[in-house]
Structure 1
Amino acid sequence: MTLAETDHAEFARRWAEWHEAHERNRADPHGFLAITSLRWLTPEPTRFDDAPGVWSSTPEGVVVELAEGEELSVDGDPVHGHHRFAELDERGGVFASSGQLVIEVARRGGHDILRPRDPGHRLVTEYPGTPTYDPEPAWARPGRFVPFDAPRTVTVGAVVEGLEHVYEAPGQVEFELAGATRRLTVFGGAARGGLLALFTDATSGVTTYAASRSLSIAPPDAAGAVTVDFNRSFNLPCAYTDFATCPLPPRENRLPVAVEAGERLPAGRGGAA
């Protein structure tokens, strides 16, 4: 095996580990594939057919009224009758449980929501895995982080009509692709100092999910250098379930070239925007 072949094999091995970790997370019995509904809570107390209790959104927080014989577990403690959840931060949430059911109480776009999660839901039990492009080192593009003079507040749309998400963008990543300099506005990533890009490209709605793909980028080095590895582009929950509130990319993150790398359109989800 030549040095180039060895390097490619090692690159593919590391990519496979990354993809397998994403697949394990998606197959979690109480992950986003287990969501059975998306409920927008209002001040009107409402009972739903896939969660115990009567739920409402109040100025003091989400309230549930449990009938006799109904019980929730919140932070490991049993809850009966009236319970008020602490006020939630935007994009924050807490989980309660009832038997095998886990109930997500969260806040999205300024609205309180309820999302029950059932490990018996067919999206979990019948999950076939996510198709991908074969990993290619050429799609790992060297680039640099270009910070804004000051972080900018960026408002983007969502897969839910009328909903908006607000993020803080510290800057852009710049790289060469298809003979031109490209830039993506980035947000803060999950890892400390890391970056996150939401983008579409010419494959979106054809071989990849129409609304968006996501790409995590490791923290820049002291000179601002980064690697934009499109092989690690991954689907957001909205690619799999209609009960997600995923953000859309900023307008400037719509790449005019086909990025044939990373995760592809999940089976049965269609290619139309």
Structure 2
Amino acid sequence: MTPETTTTDLRAFTENWLDWYRAQEARLASPHGFLAITGLHWLDDRPQRFPDAPGTWRTDSDGVVVDLDDGEELLVDGTLVHGEHGFGVLPERGSVDAVWGDAVIEVAKRGGHDIVRPRHPDAPLRTAFTGTPAYDPDPRWAVAGRYIPFDTPRPTTVGAAVESLEHVYDAPGRVEFELDGRLLSLTTFPGPGTGRLMVLFTDETSGVTTYAANRVLTLEPPAADGTVVLDFNRAANLPCAYTDLATCPLPPAENRLPVAIEAGQKLPRERGGS
């Protein structure tokens, strides 16, 4: 490979990484992204009012119900609703967004619990956001691996950023790869999009230069022979790295890597990063 080709490839690699990084930041800081959350409200069968959402909220075997006062309304799936409105029984990790003025009221199920999580564009965490520190992209952290599917998906229970909450994922397989002469392995979970995989992990940088609890890496669908690329330059923070109002899953114990992955997003400034 000529020096010119090397320079060209590195420039393209960096530009592709910048596109990914900017998209991550845009989603996070969008008007109704995770930085806009103002409350994490846990529902039960007792009617409750919240300072950052209209109406009185409860849940039971028929799902989440809001009772709106006179003059209050929500826009749900393009329809204005007044008075009592039922959202039905939500699936695990499912959610419905109800519009209230310039805010969105997220109604969701996490860890078997129904929650209301309002998102306001003028939330201080969002308006003060100045971006996420990150390591400079480096091709050495784009590592070839091999995906090994399990005979059947394995239900895997993991903890959450919220104490006493648990998430259950069906792990379809694991990825083996080599880094600095060490053979390593990560359990995978289903990722966003058909065939994609998600890896939750920590490493020796966790709690030092990166967020202590977790980072996430999305993998493209493995090739027919199981070949897959783990580009740790795209190791991303989950919302809990920025706010306590998130219910993010934690990595399974086997995904605590005994090496320092000095790539991807660092500890957010909101948590003391620089």
TM-score w.r.t. length of structure 1: 0.97
Q: How far 1:8 sits from its partner (Å)?
A: 1.1
Matches within 5 A, 1:216-255: 216-255=218-257
Instruction: State the Cα distance separating 1:76 from its structure 2 match.
Output: 1.3
Give a deviation string over 1:104-123, Cα, whole Å, max 9, x none: 00000110000000000011
Q: Who is 2:20 aligned against?
A: 18
Matched AA of 2:186:
L
Aligned to 1:95: 97
Structure-to-structure mapping, 1:1-273, within 5 angstroms: 2-270=4-272
Secondary structure of the equivalent of 1:127? Answer: coil
Mapped to 2, the partners of 1:135 and 1:114 lie a distance apart of 37
- For residues 121 and 206 of structure 1, the distance between their equivalents in structure 2, rounded to whole angstroms, comes to 28
- The CA distance in 2 between the partners of 1:162 and 1:8, in whole Å, is 45
Measured in 1, the distance between the counterparts of 2:261 and 2:21 equals 17
Identity within the alignment, %: 61
Shift of the alpha carbon at 1:124?
A: 1.4
Distance 2:71 2:196 in 1: 47
Structure 2, unmatched stretches of 5+, are: none
Deviation at 1:210, TM superposition (A): 0.6
User: Aligned equivalents of 2:9 and 2:99: distance in 1?
Assistant: 47
Query: What root-mean-square deviation, in Å, do the aligned CA atoms of Structure 1 and Structure 2 show?
Result: 0.9
- Partners of 1:65 and 1:254 lie apart in 2 by 45
Q: Deviations over 1:217-236 (max 9, x none)?
A: 11111110000110000000
Once the 2 structures are TM-superposed, how far is the Cα of residue 68 of structure 1 from its aligned partner? Answer: 1.0
Deviation at 1:70, TM superposition (A): 1.0
- Whichever residue aligns with residue 241 of structure 1, its letter is T
Give the letter for the 1:185 counterpart: T
Name the CA distance, whole Å, in 1 between partners of 2:235 and 2:257: 14
Shift of 1:2: 2.1
How far does residue 149 in structure 1 lie from its aligned partner after superposition? Answer: 1.4
Shift in Å at residue 15 of structure 1? 0.6
Taking the aligned partners of 1:173 and 1:194, their CA distance within structure 2 comes to 13
